[in-house]
Amino acid sequence: MITMIATVLIITGVFSSLVCFRLARQQDLVQRRLNQVSCVSLAASSQRIKWRWKSNPERRKALALIGFNHDLAETLFVLFRLSIMVVGALLWFALRDLTASVVDIAQCVAISILLGILVDRLLTLWVDRIRCQVAKVVPDALDLMVVCVASGLTLERAFRVVGEEMTDVSSALSRQWCQTATEMAVLDSPIQALTNLDQRLELSDINNMVLTMCQALKFGTPLSQALSLIAADSRHYQLLELEEWAGKIPAKMSFPLVVLIMLPVVVMIVAPVVLSLFDTLERL
């Protein structure tokens, strides 16, 4: 009886060992194949990253701010700038009747570089103009958000409604508000969406709004009161900017006053004396 039990245990142990060995072998084989696939995918991804166009975060943010949110927006902009540089250099070469000398080629290269710098400068000016436009209408947008929040809408819905209503007033602010509402619906925390809004616009009014709203969300302060305070601060800040601009007007008027008024007066006073001096010298 004991011999039979021992035999059954030995056979069971051998069978279980074979089954475990086969399972372990299959698992090792699967793991080895997965490692091979991952190595190939990493190599391919490294090759793609190696030959991928290097992106400029500041340029991409500027293009997104003016409304070009497509994935290929930066690539298309770079190609457009390159085409402007090449066409400008060729036109300069053709209009000036240049030759293939080193000096003429250097002129064409200098013209192409200047055109590339000009395109980047125009993009920067466009972005600055949009930011100024957004800064002017931020208090109005905040007043609308106060009404929306006081009526019972959520913060996400308030951003969405204000963004849609401000389309005719400022398309740039409308895009940013709608994008913030979408991020609030997707992200886990609305604070991250507000932080992204601040990073995109880089305006003092938006920074104050984001900080106040983040504190209201963290500590449970009523959003309507916080938004009312932000709107009042924004209008007061705009009033201070207007007062500062008005204070600079007398200093700016001094230059045309000196050039256009004082200089002709001095010429009218000194001219007769100089003419009489010339007459006297001729008589001598």
- Intra-chain end-to-end CA distance of the chain, in Å: 157
Are 4 and 116 within one domain? yes
> Is position 36 within any domain?
no
| pLDDT per residue as tens digits for the range 54-106 | 677 788 888 888 888 777 888 888 899 899 988 988 888 888 887 778 888 88
Percent of the chain with pLDDT over 70: 80
Are 203 and 116 within one domain? no
| pLDDT per residue as tens digits for the range 149-187 | 888 888 889 899 999 988 888 888 888 899 888 888 888
Are 142 and 229 within one domain? yes
- The residue among 227, 146, 142, 154 whose CA lies nearest residue 185 is 154
> Is position 104 within any domain?
yes
Domain carrying residue 189: 134-237
CB 141 within 8 A of CB 168: no
Task: Identify the weakest region by mean pLDDT among 10-14, 103-107, 263-267.
Answer: 10-14
pLDDT surpassing 50 at residue 43: no
| pTM to 2 decimal places | 0.63
Are 60 and 119 within one domain? yes
Are 71 and 182 within one domain? no
pLDDT on residue 59: 84
CB 224 within 8 A of CB 143: no
pLDDT on residue 153: 85
pLDDT surpassing 60 at residue 2: no
Last residue of a domain, one of 111, 132, 153: 132
pLDDT surpassing 90 at residue 118: yes
Are 76 and 141 within one domain? no
Top pLDDT among 48 and 104 is at 104
- The total domain count for the chain is 2
| Confidence band, pLDDT 50/70/90 cuts, at residue 40 | very low
| Confidence band, pLDDT 50/70/90 cuts, at residue 42 | very low
CB 80 within 8 A of CB 145: no
Are 195 and 219 within one domain? yes
pLDDT surpassing 80 at residue 280: yes
Are 111 and 153 within one domain? no
Q: How far is CA 8 from CA 17, 18, 19, 150, 194, in A?
A: 14, 15, 16, 80, 71
Are 127 and 186 within one domain? no
Are 144 and 223 within one domain? yes
Are 2 and 86 within one domain? yes
Last residue of a domain, one of 73, 105, 132: 132
CB burial class (10 A; 0-12, 13-18, 19+) of residue 73? Answer: middle
Q: How far is CA 81 from CA 70, 121, 128, in A?
A: 17, 12, 19
Q: How far apart are CA 59 and CA 73, in angstroms?
A: 10
> Is position 192 within any domain?
yes
Mean pLDDT for the chain?
79
pLDDT on residue 18: 62
Last residue of a domain, one of 84, 103, 132: 132
| Confidence band, pLDDT 50/70/90 cuts, at residue 114 | very high
pLDDT surpassing 60 at residue 228: yes
pLDDT on residue 256: 78
pLDDT on residue 39: 42
pLDDT on residue 10: 59
> Is position 169 within any domain?
yes
Are 143 and 127 within one domain? no
pLDDT on residue 125: 92
> Is position 279 within any domain?
no
> How much is the average pLDDT of 47-52?
44
pLDDT on residue 122: 92
